[in-house]
Amino acid sequence: MTNLFEASIEKNETNSFFRGEKNYFVRTPDFDQHNHGANLGGHVESFLRASNDNAEVFDEAFIKFLESLEVTKEDLTHFMANLSAFFALKNRDKLEGATLFRSPDSIESKLVKSYLTKISNTDIYLTEKDRLYIHANFISKNGNDILFNTLKEIDKG
């Protein structure tokens, strides 16, 4: 079976992988939507287990995805789903070697804060705020408060 994450690296399509575009769409069992968790939990998890060197490749691809996010409801959905899946898997020790979000000053943490700040300056924030907090609480329960703390900062001020 082809590892879709590995294929996305070879084709320079990792952003499409994280968005579930092209051949990287994995349908959820109940809805006609992309299953971000299945992509990360299946393809990325096995990619990371294959070699110690693969963690750095994954980390770089995830950062590249965060850098590519546009201020749209669709990209916000991909952002929230990938972050939630990442932290759920990381909390269960399923993402061997991935070093993302170890520090609030890391590049990926700064990208999350920057993206949420941009979103907060649009009507999207008002319509998606409840969903953002649902994801923030889920991520917090899985060991990281970056989303929750950033949302609190935005709402405070």
Q: Please give the pLDDT value at position 25.
A: 75
Closest CA relative to residue 84, chosen from 126, 46, 92: 92
Burial class (CB in 10 A: 0-12, 13-18, 19+), 138: middle
pTM of the complete model: 0.94
Q: Check if the beta carbon of residue 45 is closer than 8 Å to that of residue 90.
A: no
The rounded mean pLDDT for the chain is 94
Could you give the CA distance from residue 148 to residue 137 in angstroms, rounded to a whole number?
7
Could you give the CA distance from residue 43 to residue 35 in angstroms, rounded to a whole number?
12
Q: Please give the pLDDT value at position 35.
A: 66
Q: What is the mean pLDDT of residues 74-100?
A: 96
More confident residue, 32 or 111: 111
Q: Check if the beta carbon of residue 76 is closer than 8 Å to that of residue 124.
A: yes
Q: Check if the beta carbon of residue 124 is closer than 8 Å to that of residue 116.
A: no
Residues 11-63 have pLDDT tens digits of 999 999 999 998 887 777 777 677 677 778 899 999 999 999 999 999 999 99
Q: What is the mean pLDDT of residues 107-115?
A: 98
Predicted confidence band of residue 70 (pLDDT cuts 50, 70, 90): very high
